Amino acid sequence: MRSASTALSRLGLTLLLGALPAAALTIPVRPPLDALPEILPVGAPAQLPAPALIPNPAAGPASGPVASPPASTAAPALARPPTDPLYSQQWTLPVIRAPQAWALPGAQAAQPVTVAVLDTGFVTSTELAGRAVNGYDFVSDPARAGDGGGRDADGSGVGPYAFHGEVVANIIAAAHDGRGMAGLNPRARVVHVRVAGTDGQIDVPDLVDGLKWAAGLTVPGVPVNPNPARLLNLSLFADFIPLTRCDPRVQAAVDAVTARSALVIAGAANDGADAFGYSPAGCRNVLTVTSVTVQGARPAYANWGRSVALAAPGGEVGHGVTVSSVSGAGGVRDPNGTSLAAPHVTGVASLLLGVRPNLTPASLRRLLTGTAVPFPGGHCDPQPARSCGAGTLNAEAALKSALSSSLGK
């Protein structure tokens, strides 16, 4: 619940995670209610000593600011089926019919799409090598930034929750390369925008500026983003404000990026409550995503309500979402939460933009919600007011609908 007694107990909610294995963290969380040539580095890296990321055991300790991986000149193919070793454990992909979407005629001709992940920041990962940018650090409070200062050009993840943005990005775009996991769109390019501090919480002004910057809008004192994104994934909600409505500052930023033709996709949050009071989940022009189980039912942790547009698999206790992570045991994690549901929708949205690059945010929303699979019995929860939106994400139907239409060409 939001009325948790400590900041640490709120951490998993702010970043929209459910239960986490105790061994994976150095501090406790509460039990749940649960560059392709076009990708450019942003500014000069900070000259401060590098903050410590959760280390990749195979890579040794980090030294110096972490830059983007070398650019790749080839767009990776959509493997049918992928040969990545974790693929057989990625139960969420058949639930949303991702393999069938990859096999559609026309899918192989999709163009790269830039996605922004507003989260805990950049983590070096082979899953996204050449397609990920260490964007910008918008955490303004030095005490919460954990890197010796406030905002700077090094958006690297810092602290025990650094993996969060990494796994979100991997769900969207991990390569189909016979290693690790398979992402929904291995051609997608990711710009990491750090808005969460080492405590996992997000201050409203940091979120507002991160939203604007991600879409290519001007933010005073910050270099313009050379890689503006069409899709903004927010597996989080803003802290330090009442959970009674969308914060007007966040709403204004969402409206501004929507006018820039960028779609904001947000997790509904994990309080088992009405998403209406959350920012950005309760804001206009946001495609808000909640979690469902493999059977299409709402897990107890997942927020619900009229603000929710769509559902996607987000796992539950004992049946998490399998993801690659350089800091996970054996390179793997299996978290649960609406944090994991939202990037499934973002990944599919990037497939749609890859074949129809001029789709508007409203058109994307209609394609994604209009092709959703109805919930068993017509609802995700026995209580009708606890709505999970139009249904469960269907990647095949959404991409087929986009390919059969001239809209957005």
- For every residue of 341-402, DSSP letters joined together read HHHHHHHHHHHHHHH-TT--HHHHHHHHHHTPBPPGGG-SSSSTTS--TT-B--HHHHHHHH
List all residues 6 or more positions away from 130 whose beta carbon is below 8 Å from its beta carbon: 35, 36, 39, 69, 70, 71, 72
Say what the pLDDT of residue 226 is: 97
Tokens of 72: 């790749």
**Average pLDDT rounded to a whole number, residues 336-359:** 98
CA–CA separation, 20 vs 190, rounded Å? 25
φ, ψ at 326 (rounded to 5°): -60, -25
CA–CA separation, 150 vs 141, rounded Å? 5
Return the CATH architecture of domain 7-403: 3-Layer(aba) Sandwich (3.40)
Residue 44 pLDDT greater than 80, yes or no: no
- Residue predicted with more confidence, 21 or 241: 241
- Residue predicted with more confidence, 210 or 75: 210
Residue 332 pLDDT greater than 90, yes or no: yes
State which of 4-18, 20-34, 57-71, 170-184 shows the largest mean pLDDT.
170-184
What is the dihedral angle through the alpha carbons of 268, 271, 277, 283, rounded to the nearest 10 degrees?
-10
Neighbours of 403 (CB within 10 A): 17
Average pLDDT for the chain: 85
Say what the pLDDT of residue 33 is: 25
Residue 57 pLDDT greater than 70, yes or no: no
Specify whether the CB–CB gap between 97 and 61 falls below 8 A.
Answer: no
Say what the pLDDT of residue 408 is: 87
Residue 140: C-alpha distances to residues 35, 137, 197 (Å): 27, 8, 9
In the chain, domain spans: 7-403
Say what the pLDDT of residue 75 is: 57
CA–CA separation, 256 vs 262, rounded Å? 9
Specify whether the CB–CB gap between 214 and 191 falls below 8 A.
Answer: yes
Residue 148 confidence class, pLDDT cut points 50, 70, 90 = confident
Q: Catalogue the active-site residues.
A: 119, 164, 339
Q: Can you say whether the dihedral through the CA atoms of 181, 88, 395, 400 is positive or negative? A: positive
Lowest-pLDDT choice from 65-79, 132-146, 208-222, 303-317: 65-79
Say what the pLDDT of residue 21 is: 35
Specify whether the CB–CB gap between 125 and 324 falls below 8 A.
Answer: yes
CA–CA separation, 247 vs 262, rounded Å? 19
- CA proximity to 192, closest of 158, 221, 218: 158
CA–CA separation, 310 vs 373, rounded Å? 10
In sequence order, what E strands does 252-337 have? 263-267, 286-292, 308-313, 323-324, 332-333
Which DSSP category does 30 fall into? P
Say what the pLDDT of residue 18 is: 62
Say what the pLDDT of residue 53 is: 28
Segment 251-277, tens digit of pLDDT: 999 999 999 999 999 999 999 999 999
Segment 81-94, tens digit of pLDDT: 899 999 999 999 99
- CA proximity to 212, closest of 197, 193, 198, 235: 193
Specify whether the CB–CB gap between 169 and 190 falls below 8 A.
Answer: yes
Segment 343-352, tens digit of pLDDT: 999 999 999 9
**Average pLDDT rounded to a whole number, residues 179-184:** 97
Residue 78 confidence class, pLDDT cut points 50, 70, 90 = confident
